[in-house]
Structure 1
Amino acid sequence: MKRLLPGVFGLALLCCGMAVAQAKEPIVLGLHADMSSGSALAGEAIRRGALLAISELNAQGGLLGGRKLELVVRDHHGVPTRATEQLPELASTPHLVALLSGLHGPPVVQNLRFLHEHQLLVVSPWAATTGVVHHQWSPSYTFRVSVNDQQMAEYLIAQALARGHTRLGLILEKTGWGRSNSKAFTEALARRQMAPVAEQWINWADVDGEEQLAAVERSGADALLLAANAPESAAVVRALMRRPADKRLPIYAHGGISGPDFVRQSGALLSQVDLHVVQTFSFIGNPGARAKAVAAKYHALFGTRSEEEIFGPAGTAQAYDAVWLLALAIQKAKSTERARVRDALEHLGPYEGLVRTYQPAFSPSRHEALSPSDYKMATFNPRGVLVLAQPVGTPP
């Protein structure tokens, strides 16, 4: 018996050491987005929002008894097939709990089978494509902390009508996301016994939107509904700027153009276009204590000095909230097992985030954290910065 004691004691020490080591293993989140192509700065805005939340959580001691969070980033250039190639490696990454998707919806939608077969949890802090969250897979492993194409279409049309525009033309990017918006706009207009007076499509990487804009103008449209990402939207806006000021159609645009990629590609006269963009959040003039604290941390981490320098503010804030919601779910689940974290996301309590107070963020029947009550209109100031504007028909 005496000879057994050292061995037993050694085994106990080994097990204890393994438990301590396991407690200190990282908790990994992934960012799967365009980080180098036409919407790269949108991906960077998401990355920064995620890092802000991760830095706060790690400063508080991490999760599950001291496990620190880490972020791994994979660049799919906005191309669904590249995303497909990268997903097996991400799914097998040690300690990876969930992915944040990027600006583009198709890399998620076209890989829903893989995501669900491998129980790979995805939270979208930007992509608005309806099919990211609304699909046949059950239980669903996709959640959203962003606008939704269907709700956004209703909101934009209501804003256009409130400003007296009744002949609405569409310009959409020729992708799955553009088709999602075509369906959303057309159905929202049909509910009002209306139809678009024109529907034009612009290809990825088109540098001139003249043909599409001219077709909308010939239809007699008095306003344009635009759903395209930064490069293609900039092509349309540059074409519009060639018109005399009194001939320029007002534009009501999806939030896909809210990043600095669009500002850089549109030119110096952007503020001279009557352009209204859906947003959910701004740091500029925000009186909230948490918004001020996060802005201060942003400046410290990324070397900015004013809130106007925080690009893609809605994407940044939504990514920040998404990481905090995932952290709360991990704590509630007392586990990093993806299925348990997924279930916990559906049963969180209230949480006061940057974009809104979530009461709660999700439920078993609702994986959309935001609603049209969170939507706001914004315009570009002379410095190319989005600033919130009071929507028509709402109280000051």
Structure 2
Amino acid sequence: MPKALRFRLALGLILFQLLLLFAGLAPAAPPIRVGLNADLSGADRQSGEAIRRGALVAMAEINAAGGVLGRELQLVERDHRRNPARGRHNVEQLAADPAVIAILGGKHTPVILAELDSIHDRGIPYLVPWAAGSGLMTHGHQPNYVFRLSLNDAFVGELLVEHALERGLVRPGLLLEQTGWGRSNERALLAALDARELRPARVEWFNWGERDFAPALERLTAAEADSLIFVGNAPDGVHLIDALLARPASARLPVISHWGIAGGDFAAPLGARLDAVDLVFPQTFSFLDPPRPPRAERVLRRYREQFPPLVGQTLANDPNDPNDPVKTPTGFAHAYDLVHLLALAITQAGSTDRKIVRGALEQLPAYAGLVRDYDPAFSAKSHDALGPEDVNMARFIAGAIVPLRHATAGGASQ
């Protein structure tokens, strides 16, 4: 081989090795950031933690498979502590970061209602994994940047009333928190009753932080209510159950609750005393559904790997073990599915431009999720991914949330 050719080959090899070296030293593509704006330290922090964990498990799966557009997903956490002004501030702060492509919200309708102007002024997709207020989808902003995978009070009222009537309870008393969420439910409940030519025995209102429900229960009893439809969160729910338990067993009204009680520390403070109250509430997902679908089994296994139980806790998703790690399964599952749907939208858009991603969320392909199969999840006409057919009633058994169809008087089927 001529000397000049050998020199050129050697030089080419050196240049190739240098290119490989520089490629290895080149900085990785920056992550695609997703905001989390939820209650992470307040009275409903259990819901925020469930949403956070659902997002992180989904992101770990996506990143392990190569990320989105060759970039990792990263969660940026902000704590609003149930405060609407703080929630709005968090939205503005997150939206100011151009790397934040979307925001994952939390449990509280009043907080998100206060954020709607900021969300749309800044044009950032807002994904709702819990808050159920109907006003979150009827706000008048166009185009709509809010996408929800959760209940909608517009149909929850119908479900709660239907459940009462199936049990022969025709004079429910309404006990509602004095917020936008409570008012959203009042409209839905009154419409459901009116459609059946019924009226509530009485409507009672309470503020966040109420500790004495005895007077309200006395007024509802005096109005001859045969049941109680409760719309409130875990802290207030605990005080309601305390007031019910202070009454004679024969005077304890059955409680048909919205699912707000499942998003905080509700069952643990009440302990075994909760068994003495007839209490049910809606849910959309449970790891306890036998047989557990393979996809749920895989996600539960990943969850346990990423968030191992504390010392003394069991690994089994056991309805008789109140220390089971998956305390708020719907919040976890909804956030998990939303992150996967967002990743699909970014991939389909081929862009991290927020406006383009918003449009892609309306044109997603079919996706087999944890909560259900979506075909599709959203459309230009509807930004609600779930409907009445996705809801089941549940109850607490030994501190665990168990679908009513699997619950028995003595416990839960395995």
CA shift at 1:247, angstroms? Answer: 2.1
The amino acid that maps onto 1:178 is G
- 2:304 equivalent to 1:299: yes
Task: Supply the distance in 1 between the matched residues of 2:341 and 2:214 (Cα, whole angstroms).
Answer: 43
Tell me the residue number matched to 2:395: 379
Tell me the residue number matched to 2:41: 36
Decide whether the 8 Å contact of 1:299 with 1:306 is kept in 2: no
Decide whether the 8 Å contact of 1:346 with 1:362 is kept in 2: yes
Match of 2:329 among 300, 305, 313: 313
The 3-state SS of whatever aligns with 2:173 is strand
State TM-score, norm by structure 1: 0.91
Decide whether the 8 Å contact of 1:231 with 1:265 is kept in 2: no
The 3-state SS of whatever aligns with 2:265 is helix
- Residue segments in structure 2 that go unaligned for 5+ positions in a row: 1-18, 310-314, 319-323, 407-414
The 3-state SS of whatever aligns with 1:211 is helix
Task: Supply the distance in 2 between the matched residues of 1:259 and 1:118 (Cα, whole angstroms).
Answer: 29
Moved runs in structure 1, 4+ residues, more than 6 A?
Answer: none
Decide whether the 8 Å contact of 2:177 with 2:205 is kept in 1: yes
Tell me the residue number matched to 1:367: 383
Task: Supply the distance in 2 between the matched residues of 1:300 and 1:213 (Cα, whole angstroms).
Answer: 45
State TM-score, norm by structure 2: 0.87
Deviations 1:54-78 (A, max 9, x none): 110011010102x001101111111
Match of 1:182 among 183, 186, 192: 186
Decide whether the 8 Å contact of 2:271 with 2:399 is kept in 1: no
CA shift at 1:94, angstroms? Answer: 3.8
Number of equivalenced pairs: 373
Match of 2:69 among 54, 57, 64: 64
Task: Supply the distance in 2 between the matched residues of 1:211 and 1:95 (Cα, whole angstroms).
Answer: 51
- 2:203 equivalent to 1:193: no
Tell me the residue number matched to 2:79: 75
Match of 1:229 among 233, 238, 242: 233
Counterparts in 2 of 1:1-396, with a 5 A limit? 21=27, 24-65=29-70, 67-286=71-290, 287-304=292-309, 305-308=315-318, 309=324, 310-381=326-397, 383-390=398-405
The amino acid that maps onto 2:61 is E
CA shift at 1:44, angstroms? Answer: 0.4
Which structure has the larger Rg?
2
Task: Supply the distance in 1 between the matched residues of 2:222 and 2:297 (Cα, whole angstroms).
Answer: 47
Decide whether the 8 Å contact of 2:129 with 2:334 is kept in 1: yes
Task: Supply the distance in 2 between the matched residues of 1:46 and 1:98 (Cα, whole angstroms).
Answer: 15
Deviations 1:351-385 (A, max 9, x none): 1101100111000000000000000000111x111
State which drifts further: 273-282 or 295-304.
295-304
Aligned-residue RMSD, C-alpha: 1.8
Task: Supply the distance in 1 between the matched residues of 2:275 and 2:283 (Cα, whole angstroms).
Answer: 17
CA shift at 1:180, angstroms? Answer: 1.1
The amino acid that maps onto 1:257 is I
CA shift at 1:267, angstroms? Answer: 4.0
Decide whether the 8 Å contact of 1:290 with 1:354 is kept in 2: yes
